[in-house]
Amino acid sequence: MTGGRPGGTAHDRWRASRPTPGRVADRALRDWLADSTPVAAGGRAILLQIADPVVAAGVRRHSDFARRPQQRLAHTLMFVSAVVIGTDADAAVATAFVEHAHRPVAGADDVERQLWVAATLFDSARRAHELFGDPPGPDRAEDVLAAYAPIATALRVPATDWFRDVADFDRYWAATLPTLTVTDDARGIVRDLLHPRFAPAWVRAAMPLVRTVTVGMLPDALRAAYGFPWGPREQRRFRRAVRLVRGVRRMVPAALLRLPGPLLLRAMHRTAARYLAVRPDQFLS
């Protein structure tokens, strides 16, 4: 991994860990952000994140991935929904969950790693919309990048370390991808994620499609580093999967595409009530 971003500031833990108070005011942008199409790229984001050895080691040692591999994906989606389209209270609860989960994890406060995690979420959302949904034009892409900034600050990345514009992000992305290393920790997580042994039957039934989409969306070099086969047969299968997902998405009403976000937020607050035993507004003081 590269050693931080040019122009970054010293790590101010208190300022960086506060949820950004502003929510998305533009209704059209908010609807675009609430669209659940990026769920299709959730597995891709996780595989990109754990291609950083420090992230992979933390996930492997501190997550019950073998028994509940889908839980990390669900929690990631909850976090993104809360911070990007939720209220200040939603964002505060999501941030509290992250801080609680990261407390025992070595390297969890590393700004560089958390910037990478946030970057994978933006890039995967952008890629999902390009493949399956409503690709953002240049102006919209800039707005989406700005809307994803609170993800980074919720992960304790100083606000000034987020990207100035999409061109800045793309330079970072191109420079960082060649520095990634797929370790045995990462390969173990991938086995648990893409071949879950203890998942519900409906999850296991969906896994062939999930595997095809996840592997097909990876950058070529990273796909090879994980050891996934990628010949003409796999490419044809991926193209068919893209057509299927795109076709299904076109038939689903826009309101239903936005439904998973509120459902995830309700699930998050139920979990908070059980495990944190606090009210959301307690995080806003």
The CA distance from 88 to 136, in Å, is 26
DSSP code per residue over 35-70: -SGGGGGHHHHHHHHTTSHHHHHHHHHHS-TTT-HH
Low-confidence ranges of the chain (pLDDT < 70): 1-23, 62-70, 102-108, 275-285
pLDDT in tens, 109-141: 789 999 999 999 999 999 999 999 888 888 899
Question: Residues 78, 43, 172, 112: is their CA dihedral positive or negative?
Answer: positive
Model pLDDT, residue 222: 97
CA 260 to CA 112: how far, in whole Å?
Answer: 30
Q: How many residues does the chain have?
A: 285
Whole-Å CA distances, 254 to 245, 247, 249, 266: 15, 14, 9, 20
Task: Provide DSSP, 78-129.
Answer: HHHHHHHTS-HHHHHHHHHHHHHHHTTSTTTT-HHHHHHHHHHHHHHHHHHH
110 Rama sector, left if φ>0, alpha if ψ -120 to 50, beta otherwise: beta
Which H helix or E strand runs over 193?
Answer: helix 184-194
Pick from 153, 114, 125: nearest CA to 32: 125
Among 80, 124, 115, 87, smallest CA distance to 222 is for 124
pLDDT of residue 241: 97
Residue type, 93: V
pLDDT of residue 53: 94
pLDDT for 277 equals 55
pLDDT value at residue 108: 66
Which residues contact residue 15 at a Cβ distance below 8 angstroms, ignoring those fewer than 6 apart? Answer: 158, 159
Q: What's the confidence (pLDDT) of residue 282?
A: 45
